[in-house]
Amino acid sequence: MKQFMPLLLIAAIIGGAFWLFQDEYEPPFDPLYEDAAVNEDWRVVFFLEPEDDTLTIGAWLEWISEDRDAEDLEKLEFFVNHGTGSFFYQDLNVEEAEEELIYQKRCDGCLSPSGRLEASMMINWQAGGETGSDFHHFVLPDIDVALYEDYIGE
């Protein structure tokens, strides 16, 4: 028994170190329903994502400009209008810009009975003293509304 105690102690120390220093893995964002648009500055994804007991609607913006870095971004706002409502994001004092932003909110009546969700988006931004605007139109055509009856708007 004396021979096994050091081995158990070493195994406990190694197991504790693995548990203590484990990396919190966050899987890549992969929404169930999405439509994307790309231009010279942005990759934009409009999405609908079931999460636990709720349905979320949102936008995922990724800064892909080759002329400027994401750190140059000073101001950012976007507005999304869809068939049964709208939402917006605004940060007029961007302090620590990241290359991507995922904004989502609970879908309250955002679906139509047809299972088709259309949205228009306007992005306004300022980076390096220059301003820009981008406009995009998105369509999510095949949403299974039978699964999300509580989220159908009027």
pTM for this prediction: 0.77
* pLDDT beyond 70 at 118: yes
* pLDDT beyond 80 at 122: yes
Mean pLDDT of the chain: 86
Q: How far apart are CA 92 and CA 144, in angstroms?
A: 37
User: In the structure, what pLDDT confidence band is assigned to residue 154 with cuts at 50, 70 and 90?
Assistant: low
Q: How far apart are CA 30 and CA 53, in angstroms?
A: 17
Q: What is the CATH number of domain 33-151?
A: 2.60.40.1230
* Domain layout of the chain by residue ranges: 33-151
Q: How far apart are CA 76 and CA 114, in angstroms?
A: 33
For residues 29-44, average pLDDT:
89
User: In the structure, what pLDDT confidence band is assigned to residue 16 with cuts at 50, 70 and 90?
Assistant: confident
Q: How far apart are CA 92 and CA 132, in angstroms?
A: 14
Q: How far apart are CA 103 and CA 120, in angstroms?
A: 16
| DSSP one-letter code for 23 | -
